[in-house]
Each structure stands twice: as structure tokens, then as C-alpha cells.
Amino acid sequence: MIKTIASRQRGVSLSGLLIWSTLLILAAIVGMKVIPAYVQDAEIKSILSTIVNDSEMQGAQSKSVRESFSKRVMMNNINVVTADDIEIVKDERGLSLSISYQVKIPLIGNSSLLLEFNPKGLKNS
């Protein structure tokens, strides 16, 4: 009778628990390192959209657009891009801005993760 009850019992072995907990911890560490890069990308997108939708910036010179971007980036404590990285295009649809940049995130030892971002600021019509 004891053998039949023991053979029906199921559970996680100690080695399985260690493997799953290690994988969960590694995923959490990578997530905590990667999420700030995506938050900064969202902030940069927001800044570009704000500048593009500002009526004063539609007829402004490139220098004024870059100065506005620099001030907004400095207020948000973003240091992965500069105003010189902005690609400014003025056409019949209005002003459009874009930036291409990379973020290198060190993971463990000599391995790192390279993220490429290309946020754009387009006119909301």
C-alpha cells in the first residue's frame, strides 16, 4: 500500500527547482538591464513627436529644432543621443525628425547585448 501511494506522487525535484530558479533569475536580470533602454526610446519618440507637432517649429531653422531637442533631452536626463544625431526633413507634409542609435548593454563577463533603435517624429494629422 505504501508503494502505490509513493508511485503516484509527483513534484519538482531539487535539480529541476535549481534549474528553473536560475533561468528565472537570469531572465529577471536581463529584463532589468534592457527595460531602461526601451523606456528611453519611448521618451525620445515622445520628444520628437512633441517637436514635430509644435506649430512654432514648423518654420524654424534646423538650429532651433536641435536646440529644442537638446533642452528636452537634458530635462529628461537622456544621454544616448545628441542633437547632432537628428535627421531633419522638411517637405510639403511638414517637419519630420528621425534618429538612429545603438545601445550596448553589458550582460555577463565579456558578453553584451546590442539594441538598435530608430525612433521617428511624424506630424499627427
The DSSP output letter for 93 is T
Task: Write the pLDDT tens digit of every residue in 103-113.
Answer: 999 988 899 99
How far is residue 24 from each of residues 3, 16, 29, 51, measured CA to CA in Å?
A: 35, 12, 9, 41
pLDDT-derived band of residue 78, with 50, 70 and 90 as boundaries? very high
Task: Write the pLDDT tens digit of every residue in 14-65.
Answer: 888 899 999 999 999 999 999 999 999 999 999 999 998 888 888 888 899 9
Output 5 or 36, whichever has higher pLDDT. 36
What pTM was estimated for this model as a whole? 0.79
pLDDT score recorded for residue 60: 82
How far is residue 7's CA from residue 63's CA, in Å, rounded to a whole number?
Answer: 76
pLDDT-derived band of residue 2, with 50, 70 and 90 as boundaries? low
pLDDT score recorded for residue 59: 80
**Domains in the chain: boundaries:** 13-121
- Residue whose C-alpha is closest to residue 103's, from 33, 32, 19: 33
The pLDDT of residue 119 is above 60: yes
The two beta strands, 94-98 and 87-91, are antiparallel
pLDDT-derived band of residue 89, with 50, 70 and 90 as boundaries? confident
Kindly state the cell numbers that stand for 124. 499627427
